[in-house]
Structure 1
Amino acid sequence: MLTGLLAWPRGSAGELRRATARFLVAAAAVVRQTIAALAGSAPAGSALPMARRGGLLAEASYTLYQVERHPSAEVDWPGALDAGHHAVGGADSLLRSSPPAEPLSCHRQLTGYADAVAGGYERLAAALRDPKPRCEPPPADPGGWPTDLGLDMYRLSDLRVWLDRLAEDLAQVGDQRR
């Protein structure tokens, strides 16, 4: 607590906002890179380890924030942190269980959906940095997915379920901010 008091004499809320926002921006990069690797043919990239570190810093900031006295929070901090952890943990699991293969025929559609979900993470991060603006609703599944992919249908299903879950996380956190 003494370190926190010296580092943030007015409390850790500002650092929590910044650390969580950075974590969510890193999670957005994870979403994009994971889809690029598993639906396309791009390498996995460095977003995942960077997001893991960002998650640790955001969790540490939240721990310090909890020690301090605060009026009721205007942000669902556990929900925001969970949204980031679901992106990072899901990407890690998908990359381990489904190593990159041939690009999926619906690569562009998946990339568009991933960009929309990642954009939701970035908008939430921006809203956390500035407590005044409201969050926009998260993206909806665009639909119209192919059904004739053979065994690649399993890979498409895994990626869609992950992206759908991330969009639900954003909706839950955003509902409190609207």
Structure 2
Amino acid sequence: MKNILKTLVFASLSLLVLGSCKKQENENIDPASIFNLSSKWETPDGTKIQLEDLKGKVLTMVMVYTSCKTACPKLTADMKVIEAKVGHKNPEDLRYVLISIDPKNDTPEKMREFIKNYHLEGKQWLFIRSNEDNTRELANVLAVKYKQISPMEFSHSNIISVFSKDGVLAHQKEGISVDIEGTVNAIKNQLK
């Protein structure tokens, strides 16, 4: 399953890179890197970033939405357990990134409230949102499937992805409260 996910992610990124006529400003970016995505993202404080702004950091990414009452709280808890087990002392080296699959309703205010409620304070935590097209593009790269099933509810994959400092997929775990140790080890290996 992990190899299939890695293949899907690599194929998605390769298509995005090959289909783009824009010449990369930094030609040293790996073709399989998520840093090839040129989408813009908004943080809870209104700052606009691109994924390439995170280059040089190990990224652990998950897609959630703030009004979720089932899987997202559990995925967020998994991310917190992973962070605690990694126990890395330098937050400049890594980011735990939550990506909204509901950018219409996940306003910066709701994102800030989510961060506060789940105690995701610290430089190592980042919550981002973008428009629907950019969100779908990144979801495809992460092999996350989601579908809106009511005005405030989504059905979605439960995947946590780990990326190297160069933005290349290093590990994925699918499911809730599974493969925590494998994910922790993948992050630690990328931090070496």
TM class, shorter-length = under 0.3
| TM-score, with structure 1 as normaliser | 0.26
Structure possessing the higher radius of gyration over alpha carbons: 1
| TM-score, with structure 2 as normaliser | 0.24
Higher helix fraction (1 or 2): 1
